[in-house]
Amino acid sequence: MTELPAPVREAFAATNEGDLARFIAAFAEDGVIDDWGREFHGHEEIAGWSRRESIGVQQTFSVTDVRVGDGEVVVIADVGGGGFNGPSTFTFRLAPDGATIERMAITA
């Protein structure tokens, strides 16, 4: 399996460990989460989303596949916890320097 880029690895690890501050730090200041068409912009909105729908419901991720190409990182993961459970696809676009996540889109 392809290795996850550092900010993507951090976002998944932070979620699995319930560390909201670490999760937010993986995103650019103006980063976006697109959760099935609902968009959350910037650290404050991303934190609110995570409190309600991810870390706040003890969500966990178990990565099963990683594909890198065309400027995107696509991760398939099994999601567990107190909210949605099951397989999901996470598509990431990183900042030009690769240090943070600009966009994370969640789909089936």
Query: pLDDT, tens digit, for every residue of 49-60?
Result: 999 999 999 999
Say which DSSP state 2 is in.
Answer: P
**How far is residue 62's CA from residue 80's CA, in Å, rounded to a whole number?**
8
Q: What is the mean pLDDT of residues 55-72?
A: 95
Classify 58 in phi/psi space as left (phi over 0), alpha (psi -120 to 50) or beta. Answer: left
Q: What is the mean pLDDT of residues 54-78?
A: 96
**How far is residue 70's CA from residue 33's CA, in Å, rounded to a whole number?**
19
Q: How many CB atoms lie under 10 A from the CB of residue 30?
A: 12
Tokens linked to 60: 């966990």
Partners of residue 106 on adjacent β-strands: 35, 90
